[in-house]
Structure 1
Amino acid sequence: MTSSSCGSLHKQQGRISSSRAVFIAIVTLVFLWIASGFIFRGDTEKTNATKSNLPSVAVRNSQAQLVARELTLNGEIRPNQQLNIRARTDGMLEMIADSGAEVSQGDVIAKLSIDDREVQRTQAEAQVKKAQSDFNATKKLIEQNLSSQSQLQALEAQLEAARAQLRRITFDIENTELTAPVSGVINQRFIEQGAYVSAGNQVLELIDNDPLIAIINVQQSQIHRLKLNMPATVKLIGGTDRQGQVSFIAPIADPQTRTFRVEITIPNQNDPIPSGMSAEVTIETNNVKAHKISAAQIKIDAAGRMGVLTINDNNETRFSPVTVERADVNALWVSGLDDETRLVIISHSSLTAGQKVTPKPVPADYDKGEEL
């Protein structure tokens, strides 16, 4: 083979090697492109699958509002006064008011027999006159040195004894009539007409229901919120509401319960109601910023704290402790949250604090009872 032929052959082999290298490079790039498509698609599908597996929750942006803070406690309704009228002298009961009778202050509600007390008073008056006369006469004799000072002192003692007897008889006569110390209603009679009454015996019970007094016991942690003359709403059994105001706050706590007795005075002139019933007392104390939520949103954590679920900027759930400041018919007002917060309104599964979720808006028809 000639040298020129060998050179041509080497050049041809070089071109073949270069072409093969290019071909291999192109095949490799195509393979990598195809493979990368599968890889990225797998990552995308994995990401989409992970995202689709996150629980969906309905979230509402809530803005705190200034609301009247309320203190609501159960209590009982008591009369303004509950009096047991007792006899102050002896005698047969000649007259007594009927149970349920309405009486005014000063009305005669029972009467005892006088018997011979008028005669006794006449005799006592005569004894006083005689003792006074003897005392005056002896006093003049002493001025004339015709009597002793000791005799005058004895007559003075007799005069005082006669006066005391007259006062006792007069007292008995005046107290044969029992009068109502206040206006009210006769609740019950302890003795019937015709019976003999001794001094100190209960005769009647008189109830003064105007005004009424609602009694509640307030915890130590809440008593600082109350002040005299604060308005209060008293809800009675049967749905009747009455307005009143705080009229008494105990200056010292009950040593057994560590609660403070608080009284609310309720006018009871128009359409009067009886005492002795249970009642729910609500007192508006001060204003506080609070969020309006449903009672269904309230959760209890492992520590026994009451709270709600909220969503942070990373779409993670958070348990936020709250305090119920006010309870309306259809909602609760709670404090303890930021002024602006994202509340979890609806969720289909149990959520835990720190869980990643997919937030969605609350459906427009949720308030009508529709679910997400």
Structure 2
Amino acid sequence: MRPIPILTALLTVAVLFMLVFQREMVRDFVGLGSDAEAAVEEDTPTEETTDASRISVIAMRSAAQEIDSAVVVRGETEATRSVTLMSEASGRVIAAPVAKGDAVAEGDVLCSLDPGTREVALKQAQAQLTEAEQNLNAAEKLSEGGFAAETRVLSARSAFEAAQSGVEQAEAALDDLDIRAPFSGLIEDDPAEIGALLQPGSPCATVVQLDPLKLVGYVAELDVNRVSMGAPVGARLATGDQVQGRITFIGRAADPVTRTFRVEAQVANPDLAIRHGQTAEILIQSAGRTAHLLPQSALTLNDAGDLGVRVVGEGDVARFMPVDLVRDSTDGVWVAGLPDETAVIVVGQDYVIDGVAIDPTYRESGT
């Protein structure tokens, strides 16, 4: 067997092994280094990558303004006074000098009842009074002369006073036959007809007073402390008419169902053009406050359901700020609870949350 060919073959195999496997190891080592460098490059953010991660929004710079903060409530008109007059005596109606819708003055007769025997009772009481007066005079003269006891004088005086009371009662019974208006106003319904028999407690007529007139509304418990006695009030009726007055009453007890408080204002109604029960939008003047005028679309809710807006915070990040809705207008909504000067996100606020980096573009207020 020849040893030289065998050694040559083994040497050739060894050289080939080294060439093949050593080259793969070097390649793997070089590749690992390239991947590490690539990973380092990826972990190092560039300015271009950082700017691309910010969310573009449109914001509006807003400054707080002093506004008149009126309390607005829905209400209605109401007669200042309304009373249904009842009969205090029994009798038939012999005269009804007024009709439904008539204007009456204080003291005008609305219903007259048949006097019956009441006039006769008055004459009898007057005669008894005259007799009692004469007996008292005679008893006093006799007592002065020592011819009558003091008890006789006392008895005569008691009879005289009883007769006086009888006359007064008879006169009052006649006065009750004429049912009179307690104040100036209008007859609201049909008065009792002639010939109708009235008993004590039977209605004669209803009188309402419309000048001055009352405006009645119900204020929410959150706003009732902003209403004060004598505060100016303006109201717009459903007909378009406008009236002005002042607060005359603020309720102290809340409605058990709505938790609102009754307020009343008095307004002039000299021509009686305003009727009882008309719908009215009532504006009650209250102390002014500072607020921001924002587009209504800028309002949003946070995860807790709080009403607010998102503003541009320090470092151009989005921040949620709760607000109080003061009132709305044709130009937007007035809100309170923000700093005097702030930048409110008006477009894109629903796509960002607190702490998100933003790229704001500013626009002028009112555009």
Task: Tell me, yes or no, if structure 1 residue 95 matches structure 2 residue 95.
Answer: yes
Whole-Å separation in 2 of the counterparts to 1:190 and 1:289: 56
Alignment of 1:19-58 (within 5 A): 48=48, 51-52=51-52, 54-58=54-58
What are the superposed Cα offsets for residues 13-43 of structure 1, whole Å, 9 maximum, x if unpaired?
Answer: xxxxxxxxxxxxxxxxxxx9xx99xx69x96
- Do the aligned partners of 2:300 and 2:350 also contact (CA within 8 Å) in 1? no
CA shift, 1:270, in A, is 4.1
Q: Which residue number corresponds to residue 15 of structure 2?
A: none
What are the superposed Cα offsets for residues 248-269 of structure 1, whole Å, 9 maximum, x if unpaired?
Answer: 234x444957755432112222
- Do the aligned partners of 1:315 and 1:358 also contact (CA within 8 Å) in 2? yes
Q: Which residue number corresponds to residue 77 of structure 1?
A: 77
CA shift, 1:336, in A, is 0.8
Alignment of 1:1-372 (within 5 A): 48=48, 51-52=51-52, 54-96=54-96, 97-189=98-190, 191-219=192-220, 221-250=222-251, 252-254=252-254, 256=256, 260-270=261-271, 272-347=273-348, 350-362=351-363
CA shift, 1:50, in A, is 5.7
Aligned-residue CA RMSD in angstroms? Answer: 3.0
What are the superposed Cα offsets for residues 39-77 of structure 1, whole Å, 9 maximum, x if unpaired?
Answer: 69x965xx5466446433221111111111222223343
Whole-Å separation in 1 of the counterparts to 2:108 and 2:95: 13
Whole-Å separation in 2 of the counterparts to 1:342 and 1:363: 11
**Count of matched residue pairs:** 327
Q: What percentage of residue pairs aligned between the two structures are identical? A: 26
- Do the aligned partners of 2:310 and 2:320 also contact (CA within 8 Å) in 1? yes
Structure 2: tracts of 5 or more residues without a match: 1-33
The one-letter amino acid of 1:302's match is: D
The one-letter amino acid of 2:69's match is: R
The one-letter amino acid of 1:89's match is: A
The one-letter amino acid of 1:60's match is: M
Whole-Å separation in 1 of the counterparts to 2:129 and 2:295: 84
CA shift, 1:300, in A, is 2.7
Whole-Å separation in 2 of the counterparts to 1:174 and 1:254: 43
Whole-Å separation in 2 of the counterparts to 1:189 and 1:51: 83
Whole-Å separation in 1 of the counterparts to 2:349 and 2:229: 48
CA shift, 1:220, in A, is 5.1
Whole-Å separation in 2 of the counterparts to 1:161 and 1:200: 29
The one-letter amino acid of 1:287's match is: G
- Do the aligned partners of 2:61 and 2:362 also contact (CA within 8 Å) in 1? no
Whole-Å separation in 1 of the counterparts to 2:289 and 2:104: 48
Structure 1: tracts of 5 or more residues without a match: 1-31, 368-372
